[in-house]
Structure 1
């Protein structure tokens, strides 16, 4: 239980070093998206990469070559899904959530908050983090696809064009916004 053999430790050191280099190469090859803020699909791929690396390190039943192929497969599939979602919008809606307007023109949108399981206190925290102390000064707070909250002050909202394709922000100009 505490110690099996020097050969096992040697295998972990040798295969672990090779697997580490492989992960770095795969992540660098797969691009920035693999390391960016995570949406649900990216998180699944990241967890799978970590699990695969752990299996390569600790299971003598898995060779380095098998593990390297598995890592490359996961990164390749992630790149393929990213490419397809960029080129075919319908796939994007399956892979990533749509951003959602939670707060508009100084007022919370209770239904959106409830649907997204977000509290007004979390919105207030995001507003404070953005450097504002007055909710009335906020034009919009958006729950982004990666789970972050974007805060747009009234002084910077412009024509609301940045909120195109944001759920709940489909209505016309700022004056037509619902509470």
Structure 2
């Protein structure tokens, strides 16, 4: 097999897998179930092995990707229509900490030890078991945590404060390049941007690694190179 054939089949395999991901949706990336994991391994092997097999061409790669795409899609439809199949095909969340106590049986069922549990908790900014009231091991391997009342963050509702609007920050400069579309969408002008840069002793946007504007702020947030 020559380099041209490898290049063509690589591009085709990449495009086919990319289209499959787009069609099946983002949840195939963020919420990996056991079936999704197997499918990802098989698809990777199919495309990878096909690149160096002289007897396998674009049609065979396309057909294999198509078959697996159909299987994944049908599985998603089945889990949506028939709730009883979800535990088998997608798994179910496990309550590993209940009312502040670790459920050792659930840890064993999920092949999870204390060190791994601590690692998952730290990923949620929990560094002490005493802070946790409930912890749920999700089907994708992540953990959801509900802290005990003394360790929960105070909200405006707790303080009886009126709700305040939450503005969405807008990126205006990245890697020294001004995002003119974002600037226009935010209702800002080039002169305004220049003035903001000058007030922070920035002579040229090329000196800025990142600049962010949030409605209501009087000053542009700038990170220089």
TM-score, length-scaled by structure 2: 0.61
Q: How many angstroms apart in 2 are the aligned matches of 1:68 and 1:138?
A: 48
What are the Cα deviations for residues 22-71 of structure 1, in whole angstroms up to 9, with x where unaligned? Answer: 22222212222332231110001111110111133121211201211110
Q: Which runs of 5+ in 1 are unaligned?
A: 1-6, 157-179
Q: Given the superposition, is the C-alpha separation of residues 58 and 98 from structure 1 closer, same or farther in structure 2, using an over 3 Å criterion?
A: same
Aligned to 1:125: 119
The answer as to 2:76 corresponding to 1:82 is yes
Aligned to 1:10: 4
Determine if contact 1:101/1:143 at 8 Å carries over to the other structure.
yes
Q: Pick which of 143-152 and 126-135 moved more.
A: 126-135
Aligned to 1:68: 62
Equivalent in 21, 42, 45 of residue 48 of structure 1: 42
Q: How many angstroms apart in 2 are the aligned matches of 1:19 and 1:111?
A: 43
Aligned to 1:177: none
Determine if contact 1:30/1:76 at 8 Å carries over to the other structure.
no
Q: How many angstroms apart in 2 are the aligned matches of 1:107 and 1:81?
A: 36
Aligned to 1:140: 134
Residue 2 of structure 2 aligns to a residue in which SS? helix
Aligned to 1:36: 30
More helix by share: 1
How well do the aligned residues superpose, as a CA RMSD in angstroms? 1.8
Q: Given the superposition, is the C-alpha separation of residues 125 and 16 from structure 1 closer, same or farther in structure 2, using an over 3 Å criterion?
A: closer
Aligned to 1:25: 19
How many residues were matched structurally?
Answer: 150
Shift of 1:128: 2.9
The answer as to 2:86 corresponding to 1:92 is yes
Q: How many angstroms apart in 2 are the aligned matches of 1:120 and 1:148?
A: 15
Determine if contact 1:19/1:68 at 8 Å carries over to the other structure.
yes
Shift of 1:138: 1.1
Q: How many angstroms apart in 2 are the aligned matches of 1:12 and 1:125?
A: 41
Q: How many angstroms apart in 2 are the aligned matches of 1:47 and 1:125?
A: 26
Aligned to 1:106: 100
Q: How many angstroms apart in 1 are the aligned matches of 2:16 and 2:121?
A: 41
Q: Given the superposition, is the C-alpha separation of residues 131 and 73 from structure 1 closer, same or farther in structure 2, using an over 3 Å criterion?
A: same
Equivalent in 137, 146, 150 of residue 144 of structure 2: 150
TM-score, length-scaled by structure 1: 0.75
The answer as to 2:60 corresponding to 1:58 is no
